[in-house]
Amino acid sequence: MPSYNHLEIEPKWQKEWETNKAGEAVESDADAVYHLIMFPYPSGAGLHVGHVESYTAMDILSRKARMQGKNVLFPIGYDAFGLPAENYAVKTGVHPADTTKKTMETFRRQMKAVGLSFDWSREIATCDPAYYRWTQWLFLLFYKNDLAYRAKAPVNWCDGCNTVLANEQVVDGACERCKTTVVQKDLEQWFFRITKYADRLLAGIDAVDWPERIKSMQRHWIGRSDGVEVEFRGLRAEMTGEKGTERVHEAEFSIPVFTTRVDTLFGVSYIVLAPEHPLVDVLTTEENRDAVVAYRDQARKKSELERTQLEKDKSGVFIGTYAKHPLTGEDIPIWISDYVLVNYGTGAVMGVPAHDERDFIFAQKYAQGVNEVVAPPAGMEHDFAAEAYTDDGILVNSGEFDGMTSTEAKNAIATAIESAGKGKRVVNYHLRDWLVSRQRYWGAPIPIVWCEACGAQPVEPKDLPVLLPRDVDFMPTGRSPLVDSVSFHDVSCPKCGAGARRESDTMDTFVDSSWYYLRYTDPHNDDVLAEPERIRRWCPVDLYLGGAEHAVLHLLYSRFFAYALHDLGYVDFEEPFLKLRNQGLILGPDGEKMSKSLGNVVNPDEVIEQYGADTIRLYEMFMGPLEDAKPWDTSGIVGIRRFLDKVWMTRERVGDAKDAELTCLVQKTIKKISDDIEALKFNTAISQLMICANALHEREVVPRGAYETFVTLLAPFAPHLAEEIWHDLGHAESAFAQSWPEYDAELAKDALVAIAVQVNGRLRATIELSPDLPEKDVRDRALATENVEKFTDGKEIAKVIFIQGRLINIVVK
RNA sequence: GCCGCGGUGGCGGAACUGGUAUACGCGCGGGACUCAAAAUCCCGUGCCUGCAAGGGCUUGAGGGUUCGAUUCCCUCCCGCGGCACCA
């Protein structure tokens, strides 16, 4: 059997590399590069083939970089806090710390079996007190700098997970993790003031080398919109005095509405408040109160999902009060409707049926006037009775602003509003502050103590970490065990010393992962989060590889952390990840997403057992472009193993031989592999390795130099086999002690190339010629070719296009 | 609806800056070795036509620019991912 024994050689070299600390980074500035993969959540399912894909890609990059003399930081750790381990504890009673320890061991074993050259000396786990002490320290830093605060707000509550969630963790109105429909609750919670950075986070996106998809998702999520807050004022009846002797007064009120289309201000026919708007109670007249209360109760019962998905159906109630138009003084009726969201803008909008689709639908239902104030440009027809005209145009029916374009009018009306003191230009964001507290156990405790007398008191940094108590009860009540742990929450106030209660909420696990890349630079430091010198040395991250599912979660939060730490003087950069790439999903052999229930999950352990680590590495890199989704194909693996066996067998025929053609091919291979690895085009790199291997294999005697160069090029991809062959060839040192081959353009030059000969752009022949042959000679040779003569004979040559070394095109009439 | 990405053989996929479309791998067909099979090795393999040389067609559809278009432009169709009552 002409095959190598992967079961023997792979563990052998893995052990050797471990002993030699082959992947460890050196603390030196020279040629320092930081390669980061998104650290895994150590799930019970073990390592997924998707992990293998991105880790292998980065391993190839890192191994090559080291061979080029670079000092590479390629660390690994575990995003180890989180809900699944806690839910498992509720179900089985096994402590999350034990579950997590076990799953981390499994991940570690599996990653080592893939032959990944991580710097294992820097391994971290977010659930380690030595780690989360700094997560807590960061919380305190933010707290002291007004970036962490507690507030009562309408928040997302998941009944399945029994905790609040950040906006980013609500997908289609449901919990991202357990799919339970999220309900709104008014609760006091901890927030990070990410909105303070909205503008800079938006601007910073332009500067980073990230996939356009992710960048546009972040821009969209931050959602900046520039507009005007316009005040609609009015008078309402107010009762004062003792019961029985009340008197009615006229009191002034003001409703600010936010609009991006202030050019349509003269088209307002009504105002709509969100049902939850605080002014609703105040402004509703007695005769309308019953209807308003009924509507509001009904709206409250609707989930966010229902309110946002029944887009076409608009409903509302008139509340009985009118406000004055700020420029015309006209009376404008005030309505409530659940198509207006309380937590965006001012929670109130102006209804302009002629120029807004939603307002148009609403106006039709409730017989509000459609006032055309923006006319379509000349030559364009629009039927205002049929639908709203939402594009820009020329102003009409707008007093002194008539004749202006929408753009001019936006500016002019905004100025008029401002100088009349009836509003101001404002910027609104979709981005909300980040809700970070969770009513769960398995996370980093929020380092705050509640004192009757002093209120919320931060824990002293010297008292960190606030340890998660191990000895707690996991009850299926849904309540965090921390709430009932007396030893945990009975403390004294850090300020006055009186009896106090520890905050029992923990932090969102996304807080843990927002700064882990900093810790890798100095993972064992007990005095500081990381030495500034080391952060400066390695950060920001040069290349970051991971899944696209974190587009607005981890990647946005981490950017916020970096900006905040920059402003507080802890880091000298703003953007943490200069270049980002996403690996595509690996689908099951059936083309579906791998899942337990479909039974199409491929276990890397089994592939490694049967074919070897080098085979799974090569196979996953060869499947297709890194960023594409691609189905697993078991028969494709066989082809990779055949290729590796071929390389192995070729070694037996190595000897002394001169072979100019092979030299040329090897040079081209050096060029192609080097370029392709940098461009993350591993599939085409491997294709070139195959072409080269096939050529080597064909030779009776394989020139030693060519073969050794080939093995060096193969090494980052198939490190075990390359190392085995390298030693088998008589070398004492590691294959990775080699420097990366240098490309020599002179040697790569072909003696002969196939020139395409076209007549009128159609291929009629190919001729073998020296690539340097001048046009005249190529032309003569081409015209003398039999099949070309056939198409040119008796015709006039109008033109000849010549591309040196590639083609000649004869244009005839 | 809006934003982003894509559509190439039987399959996964290649193709520099507009320059020989289908590299590489799988699969399939044929052959060698073998008592036989597996493994391995060699040859072939886009479609139509032809004994062959060759010819015609072909990168989702249609049009355009060009000596030449998978690549650039216009119109349209389909698929995937994201966002979506944000005023």
pLDDT in tens, A791-808: 888 788 888 999 988 899
**pLDDT for A64 beyond 80:** yes
Residue at token pair 């002019």: A412
The last residue of one of the domains, among A429, A448, A469, is A429
Residue A627: which nucleotide is closest by CA–C1'? B5
**In the structure, how far is the CA atom of residue A644 from the C1' atom of nucleotide B72, in angstroms?**
42
Residue A762: inside a domain: yes
Please name the residue whose C-alpha is nearest to the C1' of nucleotide B3: A216
**pLDDT for A293 beyond 70:** yes
Residue A292: inside a domain: yes
**In the structure, how far is the CA atom of residue A616 from the C1' atom of nucleotide B36, in angstroms?**
34
**In the structure, how far is the CA atom of residue A84 from the C1' atom of nucleotide B16, in angstroms?**
49
Residue A809: which nucleotide is closest by CA–C1'? B67
Residue A563: inside a domain: no
**In the structure, how far is the CA atom of residue A681 from the C1' atom of nucleotide B10, in angstroms?**
26
Taking the alpha carbons at both ends of chain A, their separation in whole angstroms is 63
- DSSP helix/strand/coil, A765: strand
Residue A221: which nucleotide is closest by CA–C1'? B83
- CB-based contact A214:A555 (threshold 8 Å): yes
In three-state form (DSSP H/G/I as H, E/B as E, the rest C), the secondary structure along A677-693 is HHCCCHHHHHHHHHHHH
pLDDT in tens, A647-669: 999 999 999 988 988 999 999 99
Average pLDDT over residues A188-198: 94
Question: Whose CA is closest to A538, among A7, A72, A132?
Answer: A72
A593 touches strand B (CB under 7 A): no
Average pLDDT over residues A252-278: 94
- Its domain, for residue A797, covers 753-812
Q: What is the CATH number of the domain that holds A283?
A: 3.90.740.10
Annotated binding site of A: 596
**pLDDT for A80 beyond 50:** yes
Q: How far is CA A107 from CA A57, A78, A545, in A?
A: 18, 9, 18
A444 touches strand B (CB under 7 A): no
Residues 6 or more apart in contact with residue A74 via CB below 8 angstroms: A23, A25, A35, A36, A58, A59, A62, A117, A118, A119
- CB-based contact A126:A517 (threshold 8 Å): no
A314 touches strand B (CB under 7 A): yes
Residues 6 or more apart in contact with residue A102 via CB below 8 angstroms: none
Show the beta-strand stretches assigned E in A418-540. 423-428, 434-435, 437-438, 448-451, 455-458, 490-492, 499-502, 506-507
Beta-sheet strand order (sheet of A807-812)? A762-769, A753-759, A807-812, A797-803
The CA-CA-CA angle for residues A199, A201, A202, to 5°, reads 65
Average pLDDT over residues A522-535: 97
Residue A350: which nucleotide is closest by CA–C1'? B87
Residue A258: which nucleotide is closest by CA–C1'? B87
C-beta within 7 A of nucleic chain B, residues 484-543 of A: none
Structure-derived torsion over alpha carbons of residues A778, A781, A786, A787, reported in degrees to the nearest 10: 0
Please name the residue whose C-alpha is nearest to the C1' of nucleotide B80: A629
Average pLDDT over residues A331-357: 92
Residue A338: inside a domain: yes
pLDDT in tens, A135-174: 999 999 999 999 999 998 778 888 888 888 887 787 777 7
A771 touches strand B (CB under 7 A): no
Annotated binding site of A for ATP: 596
A588 touches strand B (CB under 7 A): no
In terms of C-beta density within 10 A (0-12 exposed, 13-18 middle, 19 or more buried), how is residue A790 classed?
exposed
**pLDDT for A311 beyond 60:** no
Residue A552: which nucleotide is closest by CA–C1'? B82
Show the beta-strand stretches assigned E in A199-290. 225-240, 247-259, 270-273
A92 touches strand B (CB under 7 A): no
Average pLDDT over residues A106-115: 97
pLDDT at A3: 87
C-beta within 7 A of nucleic chain B, residues 743-762 of A: 753-756, 758, 760-762
- DSSP helix/strand/coil, A357: helix
Please name the residue whose C-alpha is nearest to the C1' of nucleotide B85: A339
pLDDT at A773: 87
Please name the residue whose C-alpha is nearest to the C1' of nucleotide B20: A756
Please name the residue whose C-alpha is nearest to the C1' of nucleotide B82: A217
pLDDT at A788: 85
**In the structure, how far is the CA atom of residue A3 from the C1' atom of nucleotide B34, in angstroms?**
20
**In the structure, how far is the CA atom of residue A679 from the C1' atom of nucleotide B17, in angstroms?**
17
C-beta within 7 A of nucleic chain B, residues 682-701 of A: 683-684, 686-687, 690-691, 694, 697-698
pLDDT at A378: 77
Split at pLDDT 50, 70, 90, the class of A728 is: very high
pLDDT at A212: 86
- CB-based contact A182:A175 (threshold 8 Å): yes
Split at pLDDT 50, 70, 90, the class of A379 is: confident
The CA-CA-CA angle for residues A619, A707, A5, to 5°, reads 50
Q: What does the mean pLDDT of chain A come to?
A: 91
Q: How many domains does chain A have?
A: 2
Q: What is the CATH number of the domain that holds A801?
A: 3.10.20.590
C-beta within 7 A of nucleic chain B, residues 153-172 of A: 171-172
A365 touches strand B (CB under 7 A): no
A422 touches strand B (CB under 7 A): no
Residue A333: inside a domain: yes
- CB-based contact A717:A621 (threshold 8 Å): yes
**In the structure, how far is the CA atom of residue A643 from the C1' atom of nucleotide B16, in angstroms?**
27
Token reading at A650: 């070729």
Show the beta-strand stretches assigned E in A260-316. 270-273
Handedness of CA A212, A213, A218, A220 (dihedral sign): positive
What is this structure's pTM?
A: 0.92
**How far is C-alpha A722 from the chain's CA centre?**
35
pLDDT at A1: 43
**pLDDT for A352 beyond 50:** yes
Average pLDDT over residues A112-131: 98
**In the structure, how far is the CA atom of residue A619 from the C1' atom of nucleotide B12, in angstroms?**
11
Residue A565: inside a domain: no
**Pick from A327-341, A568-582, A746-760: least confident:** A746-760
A225 touches strand B (CB under 7 A): yes
The last residue of one of the domains, among A376, A409, A429, is A429
**In the structure, how far is the CA atom of residue A228 from the C1' atom of nucleotide B42, in angstroms?**
77
Largest CA distance in chain A: 117
**pLDDT for A285 beyond 50:** yes
A258 touches strand B (CB under 7 A): yes
**In the structure, how far is the CA atom of residue A755 from the C1' atom of nucleotide B23, in angstroms?**
17
Residue A215: which nucleotide is closest by CA–C1'? B4
Token reading at A418: 């401002």
C-beta within 7 A of nucleic chain B, residues 602-661 of A: 622-625, 628-631, 633, 635-636, 638-640, 642-643, 645-646
Average pLDDT over residues A574-586: 93
C-beta within 7 A of nucleic chain B, residues 330-359 of A: 338-341, 344-345, 347, 349-350, 356, 358
A808 touches strand B (CB under 7 A): no
Q: Which bases of chain B come closer than 7 Å to a protein CB? A: 3-5, 11-15, 19-21, 23-27, 39-42, 54-56, 67-69, 80-87
The last residue of one of the domains, among A388, A404, A429, is A429
**pLDDT for A554 beyond 90:** yes
Alpha-helical segments (H) within A34-174: 49-67, 83-92, 96-113, 129-144
Residue A654, amino acid: V
Percent of all residues in chain A with a pLDDT value above 90, rounded to a whole number: 69
**pLDDT for A322 beyond 90:** yes
Residue A729: inside a domain: no
A802 touches strand B (CB under 7 A): no
Residue A686: inside a domain: no
pLDDT at A646: 94
**In the structure, how far is the CA atom of residue A631 from the C1' atom of nucleotide B11, in angstroms?**
11
